[in-house]
Structure 1
């Protein structure tokens, strides 16, 4: 299982966010200030520092956290491709702000003015993304290692667990707050899932994060639900019929799984036919069609 087509194709917001996290982490790491970025009760309620607040959103406090964090952010670019850059930008802003609110509430309850209780980094966004990952990304492969059963999603969960426990209490609290933020987004509180930024936001990030000399790709048209209306012709162009499609009718539950991810039913069926009923391959076909 992967996050769809390789690279940051059709995911300019994710690319910009990943680059920002890497640059902030390297910058403060060189200065030896990474471990000073964690927010505490004193920072929030006594001497709020705006630069520290902004830096704490992007900069990880250690190299291992940076590696696991960027890996997860890179994988979760699949959600930007699924709902579009303008809605994904809202998801990012909502996750960061709501998780920060929960973190402030937790600091107010704990009231420890001497310790840095919260590690730095985009924990709110990363762990908010685990909510749609759990509900919307299907398991396509099961396997056993030393008698223990794993799925192809297990590696993402393990990376998340490693990041969640990387600084113990300092990272555990932001991770939990991120999960709460993702849950509220999924519950569509205040109808947040319908909100999206204007189209120029996606264009801005495309130009900002894509340094090629050519014109940045135009975002595909989307329907009212925020999903790309695929056609059979698009799927066939993405997945040429050089390889004979399966003659077996795709299972209804596989079609339903792809539809629940936001894909059109007819396109989902066609992709499954060409992928020989491999739901993971069919998902990649549909994501490739979106990027064209």
Structure 2
């Protein structure tokens, strides 16, 4: 089903409080581990798969998801989250949060076993892969699936034979993050796979796994009240609208 997003879709975080909280959390945690007086905390972002699978140290896996150790990743992911807030505005905060929870869980599990399998089968690659990719890749890359399928290309042109559309810049940001290391590529790949599983409703996960409404109401009454954005003024509404195809 084809629909059209509001013209407000390109302004601020109005009706996108989950995205705003996510962006703020990632920015604060990533900044905290990159300033000189707390940079020693970066070591906790690197989690070896053996620590989790063989020793049961799940806390290391959870901590490794909290922040990015690289300034370039922080910058690129911040822009991506800002752009992808259109999905929250279109589908609602509770459904969007459920999507993030499900896909990030699946993606993280896939990352864990993929890295462990590669290191076990191909030990020569252990030096290149090292630990699990540090940072919340699993919260961003699943959204590229919906971006690919549901956001149209729009008008475009060609540069030295390469097609350039309104979506190209977003893909380039994603490649900037992926190109950081082999670990980053694994994190991005697992995130995209998790997004595909959700998109095509494998095992009926869209209907079976949802954040309880009571938790959604609690977030709306507490955190959302503190960070919610006001509607954009009429003067800030862009001319034209962004078409959106498909369902979440």
Q: TM-score, normalised by structure 1?
A: 0.67
* Equivalence for 2:4: none
Q: CA RMSD in A?
A: 3.1
Q: Distance in 2 between matches of 1:70 and 1:5?
A: 15
* Equivalence for 1:100: 108
* Equivalence for 2:168: 154
* Equivalence for 2:223: 208
1:191 aligns with 2:204: yes
Higher RCO, Cα 8 Å, sep 6+: 2
* Equivalence for 1:142: 156
Cα distance, 1:122 vs. partner? 1.4
Cα distance, 1:203 vs. partner? 4.0
Does the 8 Å CA contact 1:34/1:62 hold for their aligned counterparts? Answer: no
* Equivalence for 1:269: none
Cα distance, 1:68 vs. partner? 0.6
Q: Distance in 2 between matches of 1:8 and 1:210?
A: 13
Cα distance, 1:50 vs. partner? 4.6
Cα distance, 1:159 vs. partner? 0.5
Does the 8 Å CA contact 2:45/2:66 hold for their aligned counterparts? Answer: no
* 3-state secondary structure, aligned to 1:4: helix
* Equivalence for 1:8: 13
Q: TM-score, normalised by structure 2?
A: 0.78
Q: Distance in 1 between matches of 2:33 and 2:196?
A: 32
Q: Distance in 2 between matches of 1:192 and 1:90?
A: 10
1:29 aligns with 2:27: no
User: Comparing 110-119 with 168-177, which one deviates more in the overlay?
Assistant: 110-119
Q: Distance in 2 between matches of 1:262 and 1:178?
A: 19
* 3-state secondary structure, aligned to 1:182: helix
* Equivalence for 1:235: none
Q: Distance in 2 between matches of 1:73 and 1:205?
A: 19
* Equivalence for 1:261: 246
Q: Distance in 2 between matches of 1:27 and 1:95?
A: 26
1:127 aligns with 2:141: yes
Does the 8 Å CA contact 1:16/1:205 hold for their aligned counterparts? Answer: no
Does the 8 Å CA contact 1:35/1:61 hold for their aligned counterparts? Answer: no
* Equivalence for 1:180: 193
Uncovered stretches (5+) of structure 2, i.e. residues with no partner: 1-6
Does the 8 Å CA contact 2:33/2:42 hold for their aligned counterparts? Answer: yes
Q: Distance in 2 between matches of 1:176 and 1:60?
A: 17
